[in-house]
Structure 1
Amino acid sequence: MSSVYLQERMNFDDILCLIGGFGKFQKTLFVWICLPQIFLAFHMLVSVFTGAVPPHLCRSSWPSAGAPASSNFNFSHLADPDGRPELSCTAPLNHSSAGDGSPTGNCQRGWEYSTETFQSTTVTEWNLVCDSASLNNMASSIYMFGLLVGAVVFGSLADKYGRRNIILVNLASQAVFGVGSAFAPNFYVYIALRFVVGTSISGVIMNAFVLGTEWTGSKERMLAGIITDYFFGFGYILLAGVAYLIRDWRKLQLAISAPGFLFVFYIWLLPKSARWLMANDRKEEAWELIRKAAQMNGRPLSKDLQMRKVEEKTEVKKKHSVIDLVRTPKMRKQSLIVFYLWFANVFVYYGLSLNISDFGMNIYLTQMIFGLVEMPARTITLFTLNRSRKFSQLAFLAVGGTACLLTIFIPSELSVVKTVLAMIGKFGITASLSIIYVYSAEVFPTVIRQNGIGMSSMCARTGGVLAPMMYLLKGISPQVPMVLCGLCPLLGSALTLLLPETANKPLPDTIEDVEGSNISEEGDGCL
């Protein structure tokens, strides 16, 4: 690259071309980014086990006080044809309360729970069954609301204080409050602690992804999303084994949280985003990091080149906010479409997961299988993303939506066919969800990228909160949930046509880059 070209044009993608877009520095960075993803998956999915509802029976419904202990009592007759322990709530019960601040069922002599699968769960400890079962659902909703709050708060704070600082704060918060929830004295303290854990998970997921994206060259940028997804999927699978070995909910919560304190070493290991520093007019700090990255990649920059680039003219620094996402026409159109895509992907992803998980199989085996199914979905995006972000997003949304819609035409007796179609739908949505991480980071310019990702994540978490409620619509028609799971992705597929192609293009740094169509007109930044 000639010095004339360098003087005429400067952006961070040019710098990455000079120092290496995916050298030793970036590969080391991805190791630090990916390791927490395993534990993030643990926290996201652990409630499947810690909040499980074993078969149960009120002792007051037994014929005599000398009824057999739960270890000898046959709980199998309590399950309905779908395997849910509903019949336990139909026995005549006596009303009382414990008076210790913990929710209890309306059962004077207490509940007896099967210990065949779990030694203890939050449900068995605080009797979150029958009349109190809604409290168990409330715990999940509050946790999801924590994810939403974290997406809004830490998206904005990261644009102001930097990606690295917010990651470090949230890793510490996740460890402290995660361990704290393992020692919660009552249910209400537990859900409050889980709420804070939820906010911290959003802060880590978003900012780790953006930090990796901003240090990666345009041709390898998709790895920022796909590689981290793999580690999240690995955590998804690994949790099944950890939960199988640890059947007590407090010990399980402690086991997935305590290792988080090891991430204190990230204070010395995790770099800042030089792209963010450049955009915030902190060029000296940025160039110190760039020199270090260039040295690690074996492509050091000359002093003359560094001085010429540092002396480039700079724009007047502007303060940006969430309003800038919708202030200008093209940015507004792209932002609203991306927000909907996040909502639709997560809404359908969790909607399908809740639906197809009711196989009546061993819960640990089911968890592992669902984790394994997601791996090929993420793998296939590696072969499509570099060709086209837009077509990949559009195609997988169409596959997922079409497969879900087809299930409503399959007779109920052909359950295997319906299940296969549902799994195809989940395959498409999982692939689409992996793509939207990469795609949205490339649509939003650097100055408001974290605001954009934060608002997108908020929309995604809204979809996650609404997904369980979707199945309340079965009272209207059994087909309604799958109709929604089909139509939402298909609408998203159509809207994707209005987004720009970003494959192998420089990241936009300013809103003017977006409004001027630079993102679609520039080359890949390496000449």
Structure 2
Amino acid sequence: MAFQDLLDQVGSLGRFQILQTAFFCICILIAYPHMLLENFTAAVPGHRCWVHILDNDTVSANGTEILSQETLLRISIPLDSNLRPEKCRRFIHPQWQFLDLNGTFPNMSEPDTEPCVDGWVYDRSSFSSTIVTEWDLVCESQSLISVAQSLFMVAQLLGGLIFGHISDSYRAPWKLQSVLENVFLCALKEGKGWSVLESAQWLIITNQLDEALKELRRAAHINGKKDTGETLTIEFVKSTMKQELDEGQTNVSLFDLLRPPKLRVRIFYLSFVRFAATIPFLGLMLNLQHFGSNIFLFQIIFGAVTFIVRCAVLLTMNHVGRRISQMVSSFLVGIPILVNIFLSQEMQTLRVALATLGIGATTAIFTTHTVHHNELVPTVLRSIAIGLNAMFSRLGATLAPLLMILTVYSPDLPWIIYGVSSILAGLVVLLLPETRNQPLPNTIQDVENNRRDSRKTKQEDISMKVTQF
């Protein structure tokens, strides 16, 4: 692989790669929590209808202060199927007959109820204020929470499109984007190095040799290879990557990404996998209250599992391959979600354990998918393909919260969709070729003509000839 020769010259793993990786980790730590913020700002506290006899301070003049709050609640609010106070309805008139200790009235009809026409009373023990309590986003208006979450994801989608275009127009912002999106790529090539130099490779392929040379020299200097950095010249770069330069001179666009038949099929499969995998991830992460009331603890558990899995999966995918890693991870997301549907709310420990397994597996999917995607797309089109893949991820993120609106038809329907979509992603990924221990494709012809293997064979032949001497 020609670019690998340049990478070896400047240092495949040194201070340059470590510092940039640490820098972008800090950026992600700052930006990522915003996506999960609505777990807390849009948390739905316990609530019930406001009732005059219970919540009006002036009602004590009627002598009801001699009755306890529990008693007044019993005669004012009906019970649901779990024998808990209804959240969205109240009795039209106080049911004083419920004060009878026997509590049995066989000849009585069901008391009339009505919606919470006077508002709600909220349990503020965990959250003093949320957008739910401020705007009464409960009962008939609860679907607006999902709409608000979806609008946030739409803003991310539009921001990605707008700033992605800006980053392609101005070199400095683009370099940061390229480094971030490919941070793990070359680290998985049998220890050959980190892909923080992917920007230099892209610059070479697009014939921006001066900029590429600056990036390579900067990396060599930071890695302590000052002499090597001085010997890097444009002539050396041209001779090392002559074939890639000859094949990458033409300007490329989104149409070039979708025109070649084999590449188009790859992009379709990769986009579907990213779209289908994002839906259950956001479904789990934005609905922590579905698994219990202590969402602070759940967030800590999920965060710890996510961190551990991201580190571990980099090792496992090199042993079992990209496809198998994604397929198994997808099944480990979908199956626990579907099993959780049949578990009662009282089995909270098991429900949280299954959700944690699902969160960890979705993290494994995204990490492996990022590597697999970059190894399937030629370098000359990789930045465009990454943008398209990210767009489908944002579409999945936009759809995931909106699916919770389907709870008006069935409480389990959104979770069924979350589970099934993940399993489908695992099946579709099997249609993609395996890339473990394979060189990166640099041009469209490498994909269309299956030149990955031929280039590897050619490289082995050259090594054999050198060994003979």
TM-score (norm 2): 0.74
Whole-angstrom distance in 2 between the partners of 1:292 and 1:467: 42
Q: Of 356, 365, 373, which residue of structure 1 is paired with 2:297? A: 365
Contact 2:378 2:443 in 1 (8 A): yes
Q: Of 27, 33, 41, which residue of structure 2 is paired with 1:50? A: 41
Contact 1:222 1:385 in 2 (8 A): no
Could you say what secondary structure the match of 1:273 adopts? helix
Residue type at the aligned position of 2:361:
G
Write out aligned runs for 1:54-73 (5 A): 54-56=45-47, 61-62=52-53, 64-66=56-58
Gaps of 5+ in 1: 1-8, 93-104, 169-205, 225-269
Whole-angstrom distance in 1 between the partners of 2:326 and 2:47: 45
Identity %: 33
Q: Of 189, 197, 204, which residue of structure 2 is paired with 1:278? A: 204
Number of positions where the alignment pairs a residue of Structure 1 with one of Structure 2: 420
Whole-angstrom distance in 1 between the partners of 2:19 and 2:449: 35
Contact 2:340 2:351 in 1 (8 A): yes
Residue type at the aligned position of 2:38:
S
Contact 1:343 1:459 in 2 (8 A): yes
Match status 1:293 vs 2:225: no
Contact 2:40 2:130 in 1 (8 A): yes
- Counterpart in 2 of 1:334? 266
Whole-angstrom distance in 1 between the partners of 2:407 and 2:139: 21
Evaluate the alpha carbon distance shift between residue 474 and residue 29 of structure 1 in structure 2; reply closer, same or farther with a 3 A threshold. Answer: same
Evaluate the alpha carbon distance shift between residue 160 and residue 215 of structure 1 in structure 2; reply closer, same or farther with a 3 A threshold. Answer: farther
- Counterpart in 2 of 1:187? none
Q: Of 452, 471, 485, which residue of structure 1 is paired with 2:385? A: 452
CA RMSD of aligned residues (A): 4.2
Write out aligned runs for 1:484-523 (5 A): 484-523=417-456
Contact 1:373 1:427 in 2 (8 A): yes
Match status 1:212 vs 2:183: yes
Whole-angstrom distance in 2 between the partners of 1:292 and 1:382: 27
Gaps of 5+ in 2: 61-68, 93-114, 464-469
Residue type at the aligned position of 2:307:
M
Whole-angstrom distance in 2 between the partners of 1:80 and 1:431: 40
Task: Describe the superposition over 1:423-473 as per-residue Cα deviations: whole angstroms up to 9, x where unpaired.
Answer: 434433331122112221222222222221222122122222222344455
Whole-angstrom distance in 2 between the partners of 1:48 and 1:417: 21
TM-score (norm 1): 0.67
- Counterpart in 2 of 1:180? none
Whole-angstrom distance in 1 between the partners of 2:379 and 2:346: 52
Contact 1:149 1:458 in 2 (8 A): no
Residue type at the aligned position of 2:283:
G
Contact 2:12 2:193 in 1 (8 A): no
Contact 1:82 1:360 in 2 (8 A): no
Q: Of 139, 147, 170, which residue of structure 2 is paired with 1:138? A: 147
Task: Describe the superposition over 1:476-527 as per-residue Cα deviations: whole angstroms up to 9, x where unpaired.
Answer: 6666445434433333223222323223443333222222334455459997
Write out aligned runs for 1:192-207 (5 A): 207=178
Instruction: State the shift of 1:417 in Å.
Output: 5.4
Instruction: State the shift of 1:378 in Å.
Output: 2.6
Whole-angstrom distance in 1 between the partners of 2:83 and 2:238: 70
Which range is displaced more, 411-420 or 317-326?
411-420
The structure having more radius of gyration, on CA atoms, is 2
Task: Describe the superposition over 1:137-157 as per-residue Cα deviations: whole angstroms up to 9, x where unpaired.
Answer: 322111011122233344454
Whole-angstrom distance in 1 between the partners of 2:237 and 2:30: 40
Q: Of 289, 294, 306, which residue of structure 1 is paired with 2:233? A: 306
Q: Of 123, 143, 159, which residue of structure 2 is paired with 1:150? A: 159
Contact 1:51 1:123 in 2 (8 A): yes
